[in-house]
Amino acid sequence: MIFPYWHYDMPAVPFVFMRHGETEANRTGVIAGSTEVPLNATGEKQARAAAPLLAEWPWRAVFASPQQRARHTAELAMPGMVPTLLPGLRERHWGDLEGRPVTEICTRYETPPAGEPFNDMCKRVCNALKIALADHDAKQGHTLIVAHSGVMRCILHLTGFAADGPRILNATPFLFIPVEGRWEYQQLGAREHDNPLENAQ
């Protein structure tokens, strides 16, 4: 049974999430999961390209998965800030499916053979977010989370959205914001003159 989002007590605090830049596993459609794979040249370019957009707003802290593809993305996208590494933001362990084509994933909710259950991953991701957002103060700036597509899918579930869905874009920031007892999210920079972070308290 998949636990509903209200089971996890997600902190009602706005934050920005960004997936790491492209890797060769992404490019070739292979499941990386817990396996360490670096950014490729395109991924490094994507991370650097995110820097001017992110520089438009003040940031109080950057948190990242300790896996090198996420850590390196955070360093390139947020020069001058040192990311705090949280093990709870690591990608899902896909067990026997790691190294296999992404097309072999039937649904994100099923537990892969010898892999990590979705409920367990959501619990650790939620706990990591509680740490990252514990000292939130809008006057000090915003909080950026840099991690993986699997973490984004957990966050979608934790905020009441479907975990299954379209591919999560590389090095693309998304704002999550609580509004009147529910969550909304949108891609930053998706529309010219769009500045959703101005009102994210």
Q: The sheet that has 182-187: what strands, in order across it?
A: 84-85, 59-64, 142-147, 15-19, 173-179, 182-187
Rg of the chain, C-alpha, whole Å: 16
65 with 148: CB under 8 angstroms?
Answer: yes
The number of residues in the chain equals 201
Tell me the CA end-to-end span of the chain in Å, nearest whole number: 34
Q: Is 198 a catalytic residue?
A: no
Q: Which residues are annotated as a binding site for substrate?
A: 19-26, 69
Best CA proximity match to 151, nearest among 83, 41, 47, 63: 63
- Active-site hit among 44, 72, 91, 110: 91
- Active site members: 20, 91
